[in-house]
Every structure is written in structure tokens, then in C-alpha cells.
């Protein structure tokens, strides 16, 4: 049986954020399934389960627009390279 590979993209992970709590709960719920769990993020703060694969992509940024665009391009490059 092939393992399903799931990648969640979240620019910044802080354990006290609302979206981050959703991501964390989703990862925990999927943890016991036949799923390879991956997170593509600029930074990760908090605990990581050994079976989670955290991909840090942190391109240089000059301002808000370059921060968003740079992360989007780096995240896309990561998921294409990893073949998600």
C-alpha cells in the first residue's frame, strides 16, 4: 500500500495562533493514519512529533509584498521538489 503524502503550507507557525492550533490538531488527528505528514513553513515554534516532516523555507524579504511573494515561490519550489 502506498503512503499518501500530505503537505500543509503555513508561512509562520506559532503554537498560540488560531490557524496554527487548527494545523496542530489536524496533524495530530492524521498522525495515526497511513499519511506522511509534511509542513512547509518559514519558521516553526513548538513541539514537533518525530513522524512529522517540517520543511523550513525562509527566503530573504525586503518588505511585506516581497515577504509574501518570496515565501509563496519558495513553498511552491519545495512541494515541486518533494513531489507532493
**What pTM value is reported for the model?**
0.80
Contacting residues for 71 by C-beta, under 8 A, at least 6 apart: 11, 42, 57, 59, 61
50 or 55, higher pLDDT: 55
Q: What is the mean pLDDT of residues 12-41?
A: 80
Cα(20)–Cα(63) distance, integer angstroms: 23
Q: In the structure, what pLDDT confidence band is assigned to residue 51 with cuts at 50, 70 and 90?
A: confident
Which domains are seen in the chain, by residue range? 4-82 (3.40.50.2000)
Which of 18, 19, 12, 3 is CA-nearest to residue 54? Answer: 12
Q: Are 50 and 4 in contact (CB under 8 A)?
A: no
Give the per-residue pLDDT at 40. Answer: 95
Q: In the structure, what pLDDT confidence band is assigned to residue 1 with cuts at 50, 70 and 90?
A: low
Give the per-residue pLDDT at 34. Answer: 80
Amino acid at each position: 500500500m502506498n503512503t499518501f503524502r500530505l503537505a500543509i503550507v503555513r508561512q509562520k507557525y506559532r503554537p498560540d495562533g488560531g490557524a496554527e492550533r487548527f494545523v496542530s490538531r489536524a496533524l495530530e488527528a492524521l498522525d495515526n493514519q497511513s499519511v506522511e505528514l509534511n509542513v512547509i513553513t518559514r519558521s516553526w515554534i513548538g513541539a514537533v512529533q518525530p513522524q512529522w516532516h517540517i520543511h523550513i523555507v525562509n527566503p530573504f524579504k525586503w518588505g511585506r509584498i516581497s515577504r509574501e511573494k518570496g515565501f509563496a515561490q519558495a513553498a511552491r519550489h519545495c512541494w515541486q521538489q518533494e513531489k507532493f
